[in-house]
Structure 1
Amino acid sequence: PRMPQAGIAVLGALRDDDDAVARIHAAYADALAGCLAEADACGAAFSARQDRLAPEAVAASLRASPLQAVPAGEAR
């Protein structure tokens, strides 16, 4: 089953800039694909910026979660 999770919100005047919104979504999707493909490296990079989650925990979470980057309208 799919469970929508928090993502990126576009606010203010940027909401009306379809090109910018598309670029943001594409960058988010690319980053997610990179993390899913290289879970260990992504876990290490994330953990280097905070001290609550171990890199192994982040990598295991990425491998276990069926993450997808989709626009909010598709997630509903």
Structure 2
Amino acid sequence: MKNVTVTMEDSVAEWARLEAARRNTSVSRLIGEMLAEKMRHDDAYERAMNEWLSRDRFWTSDGSPYPTREETHERGVR
């Protein structure tokens, strides 16, 4: 584990102390858990975005028409 110093406004520090007490933990652990959750969220978002961007597109910006509603939702007659 790494120790760091964090500077924050008094009102934020007071909220952090109250929130940590409510969760029965320390301010240090509370901040560490909040940052870890933010990291997991951002990593998941980045993975989802990369997956979306790597998908094959069936329409292009070369002037061809956009797909129909049925094609987009795969509701066409089969």
Under a length normalisation based on structure 2, what TM-score does the superposition of the two structures give?
0.32
Higher relative contact order (CA 8 A, sep 6+): 1
Flag the structure with higher helix content.
1
Larger radius of gyration: 2
Q: Under a length normalisation based on structure 1, what TM-score does the superposition of the two structures give? A: 0.33
